[in-house]
């Protein structure tokens, strides 16, 4: 059987666009000789639709669109994801379903069994889990049709309190009792640079364990902070990757099930550099956020530092150089290189820019505040004031010309609160908020691999906010090579103080870093959406109380 893996980019709630893309893909697959086309999880409406799933009119439109798509499936089979109503008198209103369309109608509906409720996932809020296991028969094949998490029952977890297996029910083990010929998994699996090998390993291990071919279809594109890399693949019964689709790009590829019987010894797995994947994910995230919010232009403050430099490069690559504008806002504490380096970068990229000196504005604010602050020394108040003046100017430009302000703070800074609320933490989208500073430097190296896009002086000078004389980040923070390791153990791996100290870090240093993380939750609560590229980004995937004392 010839199966088309349809890896597409969907827009949540944009039924006209989604259905149009799906129907076009079906027609292209039909013309290429496919007998079955497979789309991703909740593809008809886009993933994740969140509380739109609580609206009956939204669900009804999903189902109406599926019937519309079914009408073009007269001679070709289609597997497509969408919600379906739970007609039982008990349980949640909906199932997360895979619809099988053929002969112009809905032939069968398979429901998702395992509903993730960790990190950014909250599917049990909306869906009832499947408890009845059946195969999908088509073209003399018995298909074990699964939905995303249904194959992730054996995934390792990073929390020490977790069980050896996350779930008590194991869908593929149940389906294998019915003697399937093939496993198909439709998914909406977000990108995480820390879990790419894990994700591939799950499908390979399932194929080997059950001696069954596995076809995996993921979506691409971005939905607010979530980024989907695609990477759909077909794996033979020996665990060899026979076909793999591109990362971060819509694509349709046809696979013949005869190639999945284990007799072909090729493995065309596509390894990719981790930082290269992060780069492509961030470009995809920016591009998707702007397109799906109907914006096309971005503005950002260009400081002469590495974070704003990389954000500018990524924005230019995502939106085009004519759609990005930089504003340089030097103060009396800015080094001469901050301006000249920024100008050189803007010219390298062909980006328009303006220079607005803020020293006069800063002095006017100081004069207005002097009666209140009489006798008070220069401190963080005046440092933050400069950052907030810059935000006012950037937002004025944003309002006047309809640009989204891009936030340039990195994850290391956000973790320890090294940023100014209503100042440099402002923006409509945080580009680097899930990228540790050590990876920021690696991104710069990746960008400059062939030519010096980012001026070398930006990469070589010590990081500094330049809000007081001779300021360096290292005056307030540990070296980033140390800070980031502690942060990753605490945030991503949920390690305790004692466990991190046991890894060789100084006790007082660990206590200080963790205290900074815990006491700055209120700042992160007010930040813009952060493009998620790890397994534990700040935002919806990390929920902590603001007023806790722990």
DSSP annotation of 252: E
To the query of whether residue 65 is one of the catalytic residues in this protein, the response is no
Helix or strand holding residue 5 (H, E): strand 2-7
Alpha carbons within 13 A on the beta-carbon side of 277:
23
Question: Tokens for 230?
Answer: 């695609």
DSSP string, 273-288: -HHHHHHHHHHHHHHH
Nearest to 328 by CA among 393, 406, 396, 399: 393
DSSP annotation of 260: G
Spatial contact of 218 and 231, defined as CB atoms under 8 Å apart = yes
Determine which one of 45, 73, 148, 176 is catalytic.
148
Question: Tokens for 209?
Answer: 């364990």
Residue 470, exposed/middle/buried by CB under 10 A (0-12, 13-18, 19+)?
exposed
Question: Tokens for 382?
Answer: 């005046």
To the query of whether residue 206 is one of the catalytic residues in this protein, the response is no
To the query of whether residue 41 is one of the catalytic residues in this protein, the response is yes
Determine which one of 35, 41, 149, 229 is catalytic.
41
Extended beta strands in 302-456, E state: 324-328, 352-355, 404-407, 429-430
Nearest to 389 by CA among 362, 409, 366, 369: 362
Per residue, what are the HEC states of 302-332? CCCCHHHHHHHHHHHHHHCHHHEEEEECCCC
**Residues 6+ positions from 96 with CB-CB distance below 8 Å:** 41, 42, 81, 83, 111, 112, 115, 123, 126, 127, 147
- β-strand pairing of 36-38 with 2-7: parallel
Spatial contact of 93 and 62, defined as CB atoms under 8 Å apart = no
Spatial contact of 165 and 153, defined as CB atoms under 8 Å apart = yes
Nearest to 246 by CA among 204, 215, 280: 280
Helix or strand holding residue 20 (H, E): helix 15-31
For residue 48, whether the previous peptide bond is cis, meaning omega lies within 30 degrees of 0, is yes
Determine which one of 112, 200, 206, 495 is catalytic.
112
Rounded to whole angstroms, what are the CA distances from 218 to 9, 233, 304, 464? 10, 9, 39, 41
- β-strand pairing of 77-85 with 241-244: unpaired
Question: Tokens for 8?
Answer: 């597409």
Secondary structure (3-state) at 53? helix
Active site residues: 41, 112, 148
């Amino acid at each position: 059987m010839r199966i088309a893996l349809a890896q597409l980019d969907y827009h949540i709630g944009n039924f006209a666009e989604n259905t149009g893309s799906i129907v076009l893909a079906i027609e292209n697959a039909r013309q290429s000789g496919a007998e079955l086309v497979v789309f991703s999880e909740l593809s008809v409406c886009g993933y994740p639709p969140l509380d739109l799933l609580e609206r009956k009119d939204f669900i009804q439109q999903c189902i109406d669109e599926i019937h519309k798509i079914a009408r073009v499936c007269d001679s070709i089979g289609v597997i497509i994801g969408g919600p379906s109503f739970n007609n039982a008198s008990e349980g949640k209103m909906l199932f997360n379903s895979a619809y099988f369309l053929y002969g112009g109608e809905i032939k069968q509906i398979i429901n998702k069994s395992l509903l993730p409720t960790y990190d950014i996932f909250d599917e049990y809020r909306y869906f009832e889990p499947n408890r009845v296991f059946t195969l999908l028969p088509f073209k003399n094949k018995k298909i074990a049709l699964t939905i995303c998490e249904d194959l992730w029952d054996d995934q390792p977890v990073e929390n020490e309190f977790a069980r050896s297996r996350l779930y008590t029910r194991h869908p593929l083990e149940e389906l294998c009792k019915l003697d399937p010929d093939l496993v198909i998994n439709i998914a909406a699996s977000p990108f995480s640079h820390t879990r790419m090998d894990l994700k591939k390993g799950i499908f390979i291990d399932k194929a080997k364990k059950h001696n069954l071919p596995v076809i995996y279809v993921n979506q691409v594109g971005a939905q607010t902070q979530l980024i989907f890399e695609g990477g759909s693949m077909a794996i033979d019964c020996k665990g060899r990757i026979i076909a793999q689709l591109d990362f971060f790009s819509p694509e349709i590829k046809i696979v013949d099930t005869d190639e999945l019987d284990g007799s072909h010894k090729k493995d065309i797995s596509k390894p990719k550099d981790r930082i290269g994947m992060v780069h492509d994910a961030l470009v995809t995230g920016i591009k998707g956020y702007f397109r799906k919010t109907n914006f096309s232009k971005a503005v950002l403050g260009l400081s002469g530092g590495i974070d704003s430099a990389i954000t500018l490069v990524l924005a230019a690559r995502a939106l085009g150089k004519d759609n990005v504008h930089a504003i340089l806002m030097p103060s009396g504490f800015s080094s001469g290189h901050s301006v000249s380096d920024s100008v050189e970068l803007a010219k390298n990229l062909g980006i328009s820019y303006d220079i607005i000196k803020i020293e006069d504005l800063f002095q006017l604010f100081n004069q207005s505040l002097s009666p209140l602050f009489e006798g008070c020394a220069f401190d963080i108040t005046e440092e933050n004031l400069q950052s907030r003046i810059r935000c006012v100017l950037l937002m004025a430009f944003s309002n006047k010309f309809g640009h989204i302000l891009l936030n340039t703070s990195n994850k290391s800074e956000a973790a320890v609160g090294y940023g100014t609320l209503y100042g440099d933490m402002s923006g409509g989208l945080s580009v680097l908020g899930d990228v540790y500073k050590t990876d920021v430097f690696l991104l710069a190296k990746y960008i400059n691999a062939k030519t010096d896009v980012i001026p070398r002086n930006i990469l070589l000078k010590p990081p500094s906010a330049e809000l007081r004389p001779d300021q360096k980040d290292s005056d307030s923070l540990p070296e980033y090579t140390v800070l980031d390791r502690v942060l990753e153990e605490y945030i991503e791996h949920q390690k305790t103080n004692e466990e991190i100290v046991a890894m060789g870090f100084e006790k007082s240093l660990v206590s200080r870093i963790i205290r900074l993380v815990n006491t700055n939750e209120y700042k992160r609560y007010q930040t813009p959406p952060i493009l998620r590229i790890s397994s534990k980004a700040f935002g919806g995937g990390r929920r902590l109380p603001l007023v806790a004392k722990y």
